[in-house]
A = this chain, B = another copy of it.
Amino acid sequence: MAKASEKAYELVRRRIIDGTYPPASRLTEKEIADSSGVSRTPVREALQQLQSEGFVQVTANQGAVVVDWTASDAVEVYEIRGLLEPYAAARAAERATIADIEELQALAEAQKNETESREPGHMERIGALNSQFHRKLLDCARSTRLSIVMPMLIEAPLIMRMFTRYSDRQLVRSAEHHIEIVAALRARDPEWAAAIMRTHIYAARTRALPDQSREEHLQD
């Protein structure tokens, strides 16, 4: 059996992402402990972990609340990703092994296929593949600090739901970006990798902006 603290962590994280625990709702340790079948001690650890990842906010003696995301929060996340992920991509271009690159390619192609097939549940699978791709690329950057910092930006609940705002056209483009990133890594070209990654993030950022009609309203 997995460790108790992980069990609680997974449960809460899943429920935050799927909306069972809506934004601004209060989480009591006892309720989580009962739901996950562990004691309060590992629950507290899980909540602290979730806090360091930006999922919840715990206040002294008042417990944890699910953080509420505003549009400006989302934009802020993309701005910071726009600074850090190109750097991560450049590092990855210099450090990824062949095996790493193959794995990234597999992820990118799987995502591309999902965007084309559009079978039931493809949105969830695309979201998962997208997260995996960015996480794997982060791994290839071989940077302790980035590995601590970026998961919070990649796996934020709002960010993971952002795909629902994409048109089919935009989903395809996003997958193509991933494929081009892999190409840049294969070419061992840090600048190319950084440039296409920057493009990728900026394109995503637009989806987070309040008014989404500014781009591509003619095509979609």
Some 15 contacts from A to B, beta carbons below 8 A apart, are A45-B45, A48-B52, A52-B52, A52-B148, A54-B144, A54-B148, A76-B144, A80-B84, A80-B87, A80-B143, A83-B84, A83-B87, A84-B84, A145-B152, A149-B149
Give per-residue flags for A8-47: 1 if the beta carbon is below 8 A from chain B beta carbons, else 0.
0000000000000000000000000000000001001100
User: Quick check: is A215 within 8 A (CB to CB) of the other chain?
Assistant: no
Q: What B residues does A45 contact at CB under 8 A?
A: 44-45, 48
Q: A180: shortest Cβ distance to chain B, in Å?
A: 22
Q: A48-B48, A80-B87, A84-B80 are in contact. Are A148 and B144 (CB under 8 A)?
A: no
- Nearest chain B residue, comparing its CB with the CB of A77: B145
Interface of A, secondary structure class, is helix
Interface size range on A against B:
20 to 34
Q: Which of B48, B80, B144 contacts A146 (CB 8 A)?
A: B80
What is the bound-complex CA distance between A49 and B58, given in angstroms? Answer: 13
